[in-house]
Structure 1
Amino acid sequence: MPLFEYSALDARGRKRAGFVDAGTLSAARERLKADGFFVVSLEDAAAGKDDPSSRELSLFGRMSRKDLATTARQIATLLKAGLTLVQALEALMEQVEKPAVRKVLSSVRNGINEGKSFHEALAEHPSVFPPIYIQMVRAGESGGFLDAIMARLAVTLEKETRLRSKVLAALTYPIIMTLLGFTFLLFLFAYVVPQVVGIFSDFGRVLPLPTRILLFVSDLASRFWPALVAAGVLGFLLYRKLAASARFGPVVDGLKLKVPVFGRLALKIATVRMCFILGSLLQSGVPLLRSLEVAGQVIGNRVLNSAVGKAAMSVSRGGSLADALRAGAVFPPLVSRVIAVGEESGDLAGMLTSVAESYEEEVTTSIQALTSVMEPILILLMAGVVLFVVLAVLLPIFDLNQLVRSG
């Protein structure tokens, strides 16, 4: 039965909003009137994709990994409590605050009522539910243990969310400091310095080298700061375009892995993500080839994605996953060694989870060390620039003072 979203006023004039089941729009309106509501608006909760709330889902209301993990855990809890899947989805719809998300859940619920399986209904919203979500649900439905799979899916998504939060927290401070420092220096060289040191150009004497450098940089910034800002913005947009293109994207992703310090950290993060997801899919009963396909899609680096794809082709021909990854020479050697042990012992999923947890600890340690080093480096750089400006201003004053004394 279709689900309709309504906004109405009750008998006391208070605004109410929610959902109502009815066969048609007219039947929904009559049901609300019978309950004593004055209907303000009423529409199908699974409205088309072109409505504003659907655009809100894709732009501002999109379900984050945290939202997906919370949804999976709540579904698992409700299923264990004895509710049917449809009842669990209806209970979730009453809790979520984003209208567009409610519509997606309503669409999934309607698809199940129409005879579709849970994973088929989820697959109709690929921009909302990632491949790992759909494949693990598919495995849970096939095996008859959907509640356990949803709980495991929640754990997997929570681990990924925790990893992303660590990286974001580590990069936020350096990025903000860099942007503020750049803005401060641009303002300093474009407006402050010309007014302070401009008088030195009339001395008729050769200015000290630091002062001449400062005057040159200040003149350049004051004349061309709009061009400098525009060049920075265009450079960033060009980088985004090249990174998204099929031709240059793999080159950009390859260069990311070669950046000193950060490239190694990015490789470890991708390794954690790949091993966690691959291990979770295998533990859920998803076939190895399909698990490799899904894991490759979520790595976020086309060079590593290509390596996983080649490994999948080798496995499909009867080869070993460990040998295929070792031949690719992209992932850390420890990964292929641990996978080899897992293949020999028959516990590949467990070994993948273990290596993911090991590298997650390394990522945490590396991030903490990087943050502790970058903060003083940024402070020293800013202090160095300020010291240079001070020296460039004071040196001509000292020369003028000596000239006056000698005269």
Structure 2
Amino acid sequence: MSLMEIRKISNKNIVSPRGFTAGGMHCGIKQNKKDLALLVSEVPASVAGVFTTNAVQAAPLKVTKEVVYQASKMQALIVNSGNANACTGKQGLIDAYEMQSLAAKKLAIDPALVGVASTGVIGEIMKMEPIRANIEKLELGSTTEHGIDFAQAILTTDTVMKNTSYSTIIDGQEVVISGTAKGSGMIEPNMATMLGFITTDANIESDVLQKALSDITNVTFNSITVDGDTSTNDTVIVMANGLAGNASLTPVHPDWDSFYSTLQLVAEDLAKAIARDGEGATKLIEVEVSGALCDEEARKIAKTVVGSPLVKTAVFGNDANWGRIIAAVGYSGATVDPEKISIKIGNALMVQDGEPIPFSEEELIEILKADEVKIYVFLGQGEGHGLAWGCDLTYDYVKINASYRS
């Protein structure tokens, strides 16, 4: 099946696949914004998850990992913003399990089928009373508004919601894959201060879904960076409830490529939306590296370039300083031959085979003023290819993070 049979669905969100409901509300963890959300599948769903590589991991991750790796099914996910429930000791774990229990009681399901995710300030004990007092008031539904309520309730310093949805045909049935995410700062996957939730009505077993998500994460969520900080709470969860009625998907299924490509498009959309919405950011930066010895080295170089504070500030200032780009390529740790490196910003060639090329400063300033800036690095050494996304580094990033707790 070709990618032409994959369709992006506008104005759709996390509840678009069959059998999913969601909701979000203000319960009182934050002062006046939505801060409690719930995502529910009509039936227990196959589940896959990827989590932060930070050695310091928040209490909700322990709870959710048990659901993903032991129960291997998930029917609901409770999420709060405003408090990360991280570095909160034994009490934090008690609170995370209570959140799991409260959601299960509301839905009359087994607590072992409920995941927990939290985002916000690290090191503060969770305010549980607002959750206890208000969770029964949280309204669930499958309308666009319910999906929007969920997406809003998981945000912290984000300036926009991050939603995407695609459909494809598997075994003659329409299969929908939708996602929502939050993330704006402390973004340096593997993985970052980001939460990503993906739903689908496809029929697929958890172990197969896990392998697909892990592979896709390497080229999407793990290829973005805002500020080089890896958070304590990063989580991406995929729930697949099988209500589309297709035959169980595996890599030998004739429509496997269509499912995999659709899932990757959803993950890439969410990853790019997080990079674009970096704290204080004004531009999305995409770095494409080709001609590396292998794909892994290409991705390493791309992420090093897009994560360089000097590259990021140059893009913010509309400064065509290609020296910062080639320096980042050099210190990336990948194998490179300086005499074979070529660099373009947009369609403007600046370096060819290690030699500087005269360019129009005026033309480059206009390219750098765009909302999206693309940097191309050609290494001339092999077939390796990689992409990474990030954002510019602005004065506002410092202002936002200098007063995050106030």
TM-score past 0.5 threshold: no
- TM-score of the pair, normalised by structure 1: 0.25
Based on CA coordinates, which of the two structures has the bigger radius of gyration? 1
More RCO (CA 8 Å, sep 6+):
2
Give the number of the structure whose residues are more often strand, by fraction. 2
- TM-score of the pair, normalised by structure 2: 0.25
Give the number of the structure whose residues are more often helix, by fraction. 1
